Amino acid sequence: MTDRRRSPLPGEDPASTAAVPRGLRIAAAFAWRFLLVIAALYVVVWLVGRLSVVVVPVSIALLLSALMAPAVSHLVTIRVPRGLATALVLVAGLAILGGLLTFVIIQFTDGLPQLQTQLNSSLSQVRDWLVNDLHLRQEQIQQFIDNAISYLQHNQAAITTNALTTASTVGEILTGFLLTLFVTIFFLAGGDRIWSFLMLGAPRPVRNRLDVAGRRGFASLVAYVRATAAVAVVDAVGIGIGLWIVRVPLVVPLATLVFLGAFVPILGAVVAGAVAVLVALVTNGFVTALIVLGIVILVMQLESHILQPLLLGRAVKLHPLAVVLAIATGLVVAGIAGALLAVPLLAVLNSGIRSLLHETDPHPEEVDVLHDQEAAAPNDDPEEVVEGQR
């Protein structure tokens, strides 16, 4: 007959724990370990929040490095010194960014008078609709306007305080931009040496595995940034052409907003499209707004069913639910910066953790192969970069 007496857990005292059911002890063991993990994560999030002025620029610099690293590597392969290659790529990137911002500002300034005229016309139409269709009196509308003006006057102090806060925010943004530029230069010029130095702190038995996992994570980041940039360009061009066809003002600024919004998957495109529809509604009326809404939905469907699976699907291998939850968590924890960085962080962790869990210790030459190919083939599956050499 089988002995059904339970065996004690490792390290437990049978005399003192005999009255506690085994399942409860196992649940308690999981519970306190789970609480420790949550406490550690809370401390990490708290530290990131306290150091956000440094963490956010460094994170953005890492994204920019992932975007520019293939160009620098290509120049290095044709015997351009790495320092000169870094300078050329950075100057070209800043020139493109500065030219784009200047063009957008000029277009917005030129289109502002037309937008103001159309806005006044739309407000007049709304006022006529309120008077003729809803049978509101002119005095009621004027009273509402007067109340709004009175509210602004009585809250002038709060508005002034917010303006000062905004000025201080502009200073923080400028400081963050300079820090981002400085860190990006060092990441592009000596990122491999920085990573090798960090690997010296890892235990020697697992150093190669950690090295390969980190490089695969960066390869996933390169693939994600390049694929996202391609999707953003398609979204901006598609919606921009549609806005130009239906003669909505401020086409270039709105298309630029769509391009920037595409770097926040799903939510960014929705918000940018909603702004385009709102501008069309205010300036050109209800019918034009419906047409713009149809254009936005069509471009979003093209992105969701063709571009995302074709480009991002192979690049990062993340389920759409994981993407949405990551963005929502990042938005709650760190606002817009968290929403922007959540999916790249998830892609890097996904690739690195999969490498650690499913790979044996790589040979040293495989580490060198991954180092040589991580920038040369950024759109390939990061795990296949090493697997193809075995």
Does residue 42 carry a pLDDT above 60?
yes
User: What confidence score (pLDDT) does residue 33 get?
Assistant: 92
- Token pair 């499209």 is found at 273
Does residue 369 carry a pLDDT above 50?
no
Q: What is the mean pLDDT of residues 155-164?
A: 56
User: What confidence score (pLDDT) does residue 233 get?
Assistant: 86
Residue 37 forms part of a structural domain? no
Q: How many CA atoms lie within 13 A of 291 on its CB side?
A: 14
More confident residue, 268 or 26: 26
More confident residue, 153 or 280: 280
User: What confidence score (pLDDT) does residue 8 get?
Assistant: 54
Q: What is the mean pLDDT of residues 337-349?
A: 82
Residue 318 forms part of a structural domain? yes
CA gyration radius, the chain: 28
Residue type, 256: T
Rounded Cα gap, residues 117 and 122, in angstroms: 9
Does residue 107 carry a pLDDT above 60?
yes
Q: Inter-axis angle of helices 82-132 and 267-284, to 10 degrees?
A: 40
- Both tokens of residue 287? 């019918």
User: What confidence score (pLDDT) does residue 114 get?
Assistant: 67
Residue 73 forms part of a structural domain? no
Q: Inter-axis angle of helices 156-199 and 207-245, to 10 degrees?
A: 140
Q: What is the mean pLDDT of residues 295-306?
A: 80
User: What confidence score (pLDDT) does residue 379 get?
Assistant: 43
> pLDDT digits over 193-202, tens only?
888 888 888 8
1-10, 24-33, 99-108, 174-183: segment of lowest average pLDDT: 1-10
User: What confidence score (pLDDT) does residue 140 get?
Assistant: 62
More confident residue, 214 or 10: 214
Number of domains in the chain: 1
Residue type, 117: T
Residue 308 forms part of a structural domain? yes
Q: What is the mean pLDDT of residues 287-294?
A: 87
Does residue 18 carry a pLDDT above 70?
no
Q: What is the mean pLDDT of residues 55-75?
A: 87
Q: What is the mean pLDDT of residues 376-388?
A: 44
Does residue 3 carry a pLDDT above 50?
no
Does residue 367 carry a pLDDT above 60?
no
> pLDDT digits over 309-323, tens only?
666 666 667 777 777
User: What confidence score (pLDDT) does residue 38 get?
Assistant: 93
Residue 115 forms part of a structural domain? no
Residue 273 forms part of a structural domain? yes
Residue 362 forms part of a structural domain? yes
pTM for the full predicted model? 0.68
216, 385 Cβ separation under 8 angstroms: yes
Q: What is the mean pLDDT of residues 312-340?
A: 75
Band (135; pLDDT cuts 50, 70, 90): low
Does residue 122 carry a pLDDT above 70?
no
272, 257 Cβ separation under 8 angstroms: yes
Mean pLDDT taken over the chain? 75
Rounded alpha-carbon distances, angstroms, from residue 230 to 79, 217, 300, 312, 333: 28, 20, 14, 10, 28
User: What confidence score (pLDDT) does residue 145 get?
Assistant: 62
Residue 245 forms part of a structural domain? yes
User: Residue 381: which domain range?
Assistant: 209-390
Q: What is the mean pLDDT of residues 69-98?
A: 87
